[in-house]
Amino acid sequence: MSKPKILIARAVFPEVIARLEQHFDVESNQDDHTWSKAELIAHLQGKAGAFTTGGDRIDSDVLAACPELKMCANMAVGYNNFDLDAMTAAGVLATNAPDVLTETTADFGFALLMATARRITESEHFLRAGKWTKWRYDMFAGADIHGATLGILGMGRIGQGIAKRGALGFGMKVIYHNRSRLDAALEAECQARYVDKEELLKTADHLVLVLPYSPASHHAIGASELALMKPTATLVNIARGGIVDDAALAAALRNRTIAAAGLDVFEGEPSVHPDLLSVPNVVLTPHIASATMPTRLAMASLAADNLIAFFTGNKPLTPLNAAVLAIK
């Protein structure tokens, strides 16, 4: 019997491709071209499965043009690149890659928080530019992490990881807001107190965003939310572009409505709002929160495991629309 055909839409670990080749007739984009929607559709022709990343949009146009597609496995925990309703309606299974990146991403959230609050990149730029000629009492004086109030918006697995790092490692007071409140045992484990969004914004010394992107979370942090924050506060976004109104944030940073921001994700990335590039009090990284080699390999392997399970008649490990499986 011939093997099912799949597309690996982006460059990925050679060992993961080799493993998939044992089960599938594989076309891969190992040159890592950035495909337009039309090109993605062209490459998906005749494919039953797709290995996708967060930048590969699977929407109703793609689904209509690729009737043989049965499954898409995302190498990402976030899946806002999928139109999940359209995929379910078309009977296409979607899977994501949760859990394997939780601790790595929480580490990065903390790294970005510390770099931002303690002005690490700003001071490095100063040093590299040859401007360091003497010590000064307030030179790059930033905000303390230890003992400060850490606010977390979005208290899923990664948010909980950041809460634990703050509470247990740095003696921070942790407050959070989430669509649903954690149960008491989990709150105790994270040493986190539930507050409403307004209190979170007004009280946090450092606010970390870890909520999923959806139409409901679009511009969850805009001009009016930024206006509620302390002028000494730090904002960190490791969630998704679009959750923060980047133009409003750049204005808040320029006007010092808040002290500083650390951003790993951007509206319209890989483009970055030009106003963010011109303010000094922001640390900018190119969507690398999950980027350690072991974690990226674990994410790719989980996506591959999902494809193999589905096409060998087994239950995928991390389905997003399991209703599709029930129909089959």
Interacting residues toward ligand 8YV by CB under 6 A: 53-54, 75-78, 101, 290
Taking CB atoms, the residue at the shortest distance from ligand 8YV is: 54
The nearest distance, CB 6 to ligand 8YV, in angstroms, is: 17
Distances, alpha carbon 314 to alpha carbons 73, 95, 96, 286, 310, in Å: 15, 14, 16, 36, 5
Q: Give the integer Cα–Cα distance in Å for 46 and 292.
A: 34
Q: How far is the CB of 75 from ligand 8YV (least distance, A)?
A: 5
Q: Which residues are catalytic?
A: 240, 269, 287
Shortest distance, CB of residue 289 to ligand 8YV, whole angstroms?
A: 6
Q: Which is nearer to ligand 8YV, 55 or 91 (CB)?
A: 55
Q: Would you say 182 or 211 has its CB closer to ligand 8YV?
A: 211
Looking at beta carbons only, is 107 or 275 nearer to ligand 8YV?
107
> What phi and psi values does residue 37 have, to the nearest 5 degrees?
-60, -40
Would you call 154 exposed, middle or buried from its count of C-beta atoms within 10 A (0-12, 13-18, 19+)? buried
Nearer Cβ to ligand 8YV (142/262): 262
State the nearest-atom distance from the C-beta of 42 to ligand 8YV, in Å: 22
Q: How far is the CB of 238 from ligand 8YV (least distance, A)?
A: 8
71 in Cβ contact with 44 (< 8 Å): no
Give per-residue burial for 84-121: e unless 16+ CB within 10 Å, then b: eebbbebebbbbbbbebbbbbbbbbbbbbbbbbbbbbb
3-state secondary structure at position 6 = strand
CB-wise, 77 or 244, nearer to ligand 8YV? 77
CA distance 29 to 7: 8
- How far is the C-alpha of 69 from the C-alpha of 92, rounded, in Å? 7
DSSP state of 218: T
